Structure 1
């Protein structure tokens, strides 16, 4: 539910639509930005200022509320912000990272980064700026509660459960290849505006903070980042695993820009996940969206998206 709440929190589109109607709706003249205007694909209701094809979206247009001064000063601070973020994550989480994107927030930057090395995840850090003194406040860098920890835990799952994660990847690839009607997002979008722990173009995985099964593995890694894979696997407490603590969110998009998500496409995907007992253990949410991403939110979730009832996920135990 944490994942779904985060997604809901990003929705800012109603304000944009209201202003569009004020500009173009009174005279009933479809302007370029009108919700009823056709985009370059001939699709109504997906104006190019608000939406972009999932096949080309790389994060352009994404913003955080109250971005403020930082958005206009990126070049001035970029190098120092990147260096300070790398040093902070290395010191606090024993992890080397690559910085992909800086997005202005109210007090500085939200930094989107990707881990380097055998553990792979995406996350964010917040770097404050003192604009009056034009100074990067390196001593005040922080991360949202459990954000990087969650990334590390899910990366550890993917590392010690590599065979099971390969089953998941292969199943999704088979769905994409045989179905022919669905696609995923771009790697660049994940890098620039993702930050959702372990993530691929088709899904992301998040481990909740009370996940007791993986916690000893995390503790061992933080104590000894060079611990072998065998040592990390031995630390895993299988008997403490609760599928509610490990969430797999699958996001697929219609390949054809003019096609809506329909049950005829969605249902076979659901059945494939329900019937495959070789998948990683956890709870699965399957989403099918139309072809477009909301640029400002970096998300495909809209009124026409299809998903199972949130009360009844697919649980692999």
Structure 2
């Protein structure tokens, strides 16, 4: 089984997308990485890189050619943290907490979590002059559309809080009753930068039909939830504008993905009412995750996704 490219780029392909700090736009990054990620997932899953997902906290996560910059970043944690916090406050009017920083080509990728609502995970990039061993803290940047999309997913979850709660309660109950698990909370904070996320699923956006959410947020952070509801009702959008990817693992170390459990989740999501409008994908992996890439996908993973994802109107 090969995970489809839309899922890879939107989520677990982070290590390739973040691996370079060159000045690229999001579209070009996606086009350049789809085939690379699809063909390299299995090559990266060598036994010495695989750990049990319940043991994985993000330790060992690396980005391409980041050895030198990672050392410099760790030596300048305070400066980088202050620079990234300032960047998000000034550019996105949002307070964030810095959870992790990982060296990449010509800089450090910094993983953050927003404070309060809208709640989301994302990242920024801090350039580093390796020869001068200097952090260029005035030049913090983010890949085009990355933070904007994260904010949109956080707003969407905030607006549809009741529906989100129903989805999350279902997943928590399912994980408690079946021999399956999600990633750890530590890994979520340290290496998952995919917008609104929990340990069991994440949300992402496609296209620009939800751009009005970001634009309204940038104009006014004090909009009430009831007003947000009115705003989204006045702006029609298709279900595939917002993607929900349920991403789970087997609990036992040597267990293959259980087809019966997988099919039950698929059926229950198909039949469930009252969860958020969107396009739903479901992926069940075995118990192991690649500690260097935070990727759990392998040939044996079970997947229901685009173009056969579950559409909830």
TM-score between the two structures when normalised by the length of structure 2: 0.86
Q: Tell me, yes or no, if the aligned pair for 2:252 and 2:287 is still in contact at 8 Å.
A: yes
Aligned residues: 285
Give unmatched runs, 5+ long, in structure 2: 17-36
Q: Tell me, yes or no, if the aligned pair for 2:282 and 2:305 is still in contact at 8 Å.
A: no
Shift in Å at residue 237 of structure 1? 3.6
CA distance in 1, matches of 2:103, 2:120: 22
CA distance in 1, matches of 2:150, 2:9: 18
> 1:93-123 CA deviation, whole Å, 9 max, x = no partner?
0100000001001101000000002211000
- 1:259 corresponds to which of 255, 260, 273: 255
Pick 1 or 2: higher relative contact order, CA cutoff 8 A, min separation 6: 2
Q: Tell me, yes or no, if the aligned pair for 1:217 and 1:233 is still in contact at 8 Å.
A: no
Q: Does residue 187 of structure 1 match 2:191? A: no
How much is the aligned-residue C-alpha RMSD, in angstroms? 1.9
Q: Tell me, yes or no, if the aligned pair for 1:244 and 1:283 is still in contact at 8 Å.
A: yes
TM-score between the two structures when normalised by the length of structure 1: 0.85
* Residue in 2 that maps onto 1:304: 300
* Residue in 2 that maps onto 1:94: 93
Q: Tell me, yes or no, if the aligned pair for 1:216 and 1:237 is still in contact at 8 Å.
A: no
In our comparison, the structure showing a higher alpha carbon Rg is 1
Seen in structure 2, the aligned counterparts of structure 1 residues 229 and 82 have a Cα distance that, compared at 3 Å, is same
* Residue in 1 that maps onto 2:214: 218
Q: Tell me, yes or no, if the aligned pair for 1:150 and 1:209 is still in contact at 8 Å.
A: no
Give unmatched runs, 5+ long, in structure 1: 18-34, 36-46
Shift in Å at residue 229 of structure 1? 1.9
> 1:210-229 CA deviation, whole Å, 9 max, x = no partner?
12xx4333222211112222
> 1:98-150 CA deviation, whole Å, 9 max, x = no partner?
00001001101000000002211000101001233333212321101111101
The structure where helix makes up a greater share of residues is 2
CA distance in 2, matches of 1:2, 1:89: 27
Shift in Å at residue 297 of structure 1? 1.0
Q: What does 1:118-267 correspond to in 2, within 5 Å? A: 118-178=117-177, 180-211=178-209, 214-237=210-233, 240-267=236-263
